Chains A and B, each alone.
Chain A
Amino acid sequence: MRVADAFSSGPALIVYLCMGDPDIKTTIEAARRVIAAGADLLELGLPHSDPIADGPVIQAAAQRAIAAGMDTDRYFQAAGKIEGIPKVFMGYYNMVFQRGVERFAADCAASGISGLIVPDLPPEEANPLMQACKRYDLDLIFLVAPNTPQQRAEEIAAMSSGFVYLVSRSGVTGARKEVLDSTRELIARVPAVRPRAVGFGISTPDQAAQMVAAGAEGVIVGSACVDLVGQGRLDKLEELVMGMKKEMIKVAPKR
Chain B
Amino acid sequence: MMTTSHTSPLETARFGSFGGGFIPETLVQPLRELADAYLSLQADPGFLEELGELLSRFAGRPTPLCRADRLGQALGRRIYLKREDLLHGGAHKLNNTLGQALIASRMGKSRLIAETGAGQHGVATAIVGAKLGFETQIYMGEVDIERQKMNVYRMELLGAEVIPVRSGSRTLKDAINEAMRDWAGSYETTHYLLGTAAGPYPYPAMVRDLQSVIGQEARSQIMEQEGRLPDSIVACVGGGSNAMGIFAPFLSDPTRLIAVEAGGRGPGQTGRTADNGASLAFGSKGVLHGAMTKILQDPFGQILESYSVAAGLDYPGVGPQLAHLAETGRVLTRLASDAQAVRGFRYLSQAEGIIPALESAHAVGYALEEPQQLGDLCIINVSGRGDKDLHTVMEYEGC
* Residues on A facing B (Cβ under 8 Å): 48-56, 59-60, 63, 66, 71-73, 92-99, 119-125, 127, 142-149, 151-152, 155-156, 159, 167, 169-172
Contact = CB atoms under 8 A, between A and B. Distances in A.
Contacts of B78: none
A79 to B, nearest CB: 15
Nearest to A151: B5
Interface of B: 1-5, 10, 20-26, 28-30, 167-168, 173-174, 177, 180-181, 184-187, 285-290, 295, 297, 299-303
Given A94-B301, A95-B300, A124-B2, A50 B26 contact: no
A142 B300 CA distance: 23
Contact of A48 (B10, B23, B302): B302
A170 B20 CA distance: 22
B185 A170 contact: yes
Those 3 A-B pairs whose CB atoms lie nearest each other, nearest first: A171-B185, A98-B301, A94-B287
Contacts of B10: 124
Contacts of B301: 48, 72, 92, 94-99
B26 A63 contact: no
A125 B184 CA distance: 19
B26 to A, nearest CB: 4
Given A71-B300, A123-B2, A148-B25, 10 more contacts: A53-B184, A56-B167, A60-B167, A94-B286, A95-B301, A122-B24, A125-B20, A152-B2, A159-B2, A172-B184
Contacts of B2: 123-124, 152, 155-156, 159
Contacts of B173: 50
A171 B30 CA distance: 12
A171 B181 contact: yes
Contacts of A71: 300, 302
Nearest to B23: A120
Contacts of A63: 167-168
B356 to A, nearest CB: 31
27 contacts: A49-B168, A50-B177, A50-B303, A51-B177, A52-B177, A53-B26, A66-B302, A71-B300, A72-B301, A94-B287, A94-B288, A94-B303, A95-B301, A120-B23, A122-B22, A123-B1, A124-B1, A125-B20, A144-B25, A145-B26, A145-B28, A147-B29, A149-B29, A151-B5, A167-B24, A167-B26, A172-B181
